[in-house]
Amino acid sequence: MEDGMKEVYFNKYCPKCRYADKQEAEDPCYDCLTEPAMQYSHKPAQFVDSGKNTQDNAKIGKYI
């Protein structure tokens, strides 16, 4: 039986996160980094979208 656990893609989400300027040892980054797998999601536990226009958003036509 599959438990739905997925590896967290820190390299994809951390640069887009509101907390990207924090050090790894600071909250909430530390909390995210202690959970390398999430159930049914590759997104880190404490991820908050920064709302900045990223290359991925431009590809799909979203301009913030």
What are 31-41's pLDDT values in tens digits? Answer: 999 999 999 99
Per domain, the residue ranges of the chain are 5-59
Asked if residue 8 lies in contact with residue 43, where contact means CB atoms within 8 angstroms, the answer is: yes
pLDDT at 26: 94
CA distance 8 to 32: 9
Whose CA is closest to 26, among 49, 51, 46, 50? 46
Whose structure tokens read 């431009």?
A: 58
- Whole-structure pTM over 0.75, yes or no? no
- Residues of the chain with pLDDT > 90, as a percent, come to 73
Two tokens, residue 23: 């050090």
At 51 the pLDDT is 85
Write the DSSP symbol of residue 15.
G
